[in-house]
Amino acid sequence: MFYKENNCFHPIEFDFSETLPEQFTYPFYYTPHPLCIKAADDIKAYLNSQTDFEHNFGLDKEKQGIKIGKMFGVMIVENAEKQLGYLTAFSGKLAESNHLKGFVPPIYDTLNKDGFYKQNEIYVNQLTLKIETLEQNPELEKAKIHLEQTKIQGVLKLEAFKTNAKAQKQKRKQRRVEAEQQLSASEKVAFLETLKQQSIQSNIDLKYLKLNLEAAITNAEKVLKELIQPIETLKLERKTLSASLQKRIHEQYQFLNANGESKDLITIFKATDLGKPPAAAGECAAPKLFQYAYENNLKPIAMAEFYWGISPTKEVRKHGQFYPSCRSRCEPILGHMMQGLDVEPNPIELAGVFKGELEIIYEDDFLLVLNKPNEFLSVPGKTIKDSVLTRMQSYLPDATGPLLLHRLDMSTSGLLLVAKNERTHKKLQKQFIERTIKKRYVAVLEGELQTKEGVIDLPLRVDLNNRPRQLVCYEHGKKAKTKFEVVEVYNNKTRIHFYPISGRTHQLRVHAAHHKGLNMPIVGDDLYGTVSNRLHLHAETLSFEHPVKKEWASFSCEAPF
């Protein structure tokens, strides 16, 4: 039961007929242990009824203010008396606070009024106020406008002078022609000298005009610079102070592991591709749970994290559902903090093993169509080399060209098209580019979809903080469109056909799960839904024009679910 007290250890009842996990949870891919589910249910019940703090999770439509969902974590631990209990934590801050009774504290409290961060933050805010005041000075805007107008007027004056000079030059040319015909030799010499002097004077006038215009611009720039310089000085001071503060904060985040070793954020992230801590590193629920356990001599047994609140705009996050720890911020930190613990192996590294023969649906001298099994890679990964591509390279040692025309997610099964030579590949690739190749996927969704058919149009991009997950992003995402038709609704499930109009990574999975899509994840989707025996997504039909026979070819392979 969740107790609202300063002691963050919450005893939990354990039926000893059950078994505790032999290894600690691998936090980036897991099925929640029953004890974790029980602990999470305690927290969920508390969140549903609590009156201790005010935070708008977006679950009450009548509630005003910014709606923000939160990740919560629970960790089953054992104390020195061999008693089981659980710890709980929230990501970031909650109700504008880092400390709430019953929840573990942050590793470093940036909200502590007596801490160096808050003290320096006051000065940083004062600098910002000074900068904003100077930037709002009416004289600054006048100086900017004056400089811009001076430049524009300079261009206009220069163009007008050159236009006039060109016209005068043309007149002098005409007068020279007339002088040749009308004037005597002595008169002509004097007249041509006059014209020459006029030409010289025009060049002198142009030179002085340019100098005057440049001087006017220089003066306008000087006035503007004198107004901007104090702002830039303050901004540099603020930037330098902020960087210094950030470094000091990163040094304050000291993370323990089961061996009693401590490392700060800078040291942990120095060895990563990023090279430095990302924003909010160390503020997630998981590191807080580990830190409190180690500091209080509690043995970590299992862990799980769940989302509470309204679905965010970009990510696929559903109220009350369990999710893995984030990778960009937490993976390096937890990699250190779990040292000394016996942790479950990474299931991803064990996946992708298929010992059978690939099922070839059709084959001729130019191409073949095969049925890729689920949990098998289309192309080699970082650690797993066995894949459809490597199998095909062995099966077709004399083939030329890239072989595969398209890919399927590792968890997706179904039809894949293979070209045996480069010419065939190019012709088929053209059909993919022109979208004349027809594909149909069958899937089973979690829930009963009321809409019978439609089109989902949600642009996608990779989640840089949590690869390989994808985000819905209207600003930087690539266009992604999917047509769908419901086949059958039964037992709180929906069997559906998907017709991808574009081909983005995880397109069907995100379009199904995202709240702006169908809001129903595909059964067994371990990234955007919940784990099951497999991902219920299968590339069922594939139709195209045979590049040599010039006949329309259609192939199908029944889904194994």
Token pair in block for residue 186: 């002595």
Are 472 and 459 in contact, with CB atoms under 8 Å apart? yes
User: What span, in angstroms and rounded, lies between the C-alpha atoms of 422 and 413?
Assistant: 25
User: What span, in angstroms and rounded, lies between the C-alpha atoms of 226 and 91?
Assistant: 46
Residues acting as catalytic residues: 409
User: What span, in angstroms and rounded, lies between the C-alpha atoms of 406 and 43?
Assistant: 45
Q: Closest Cα partner for 283 from 250, 313, 309? A: 250
Pick left, alpha or beta for residue 320 (phi over 0 → left; psi -120 to 50 → alpha; otherwise beta). Answer: left
Are 510 and 451 in contact, with CB atoms under 8 Å apart? no
What separation, in Å, do the N-terminal and C-terminal C-alpha atoms of the chain show?
40
Helix (H) or strand (E) holding 303: strand 299-308
Length of the chain: 561
* DSSP code per residue over 256-270: E-TTS-EEEHHHHHH
Q: Which residues contact 378 (CB under 8 A, 6 or more apart)?
A: 372, 387, 388, 389, 404, 407, 408, 410, 416
User: What span, in angstroms and rounded, lies between the C-alpha atoms of 242 and 134?
Assistant: 20
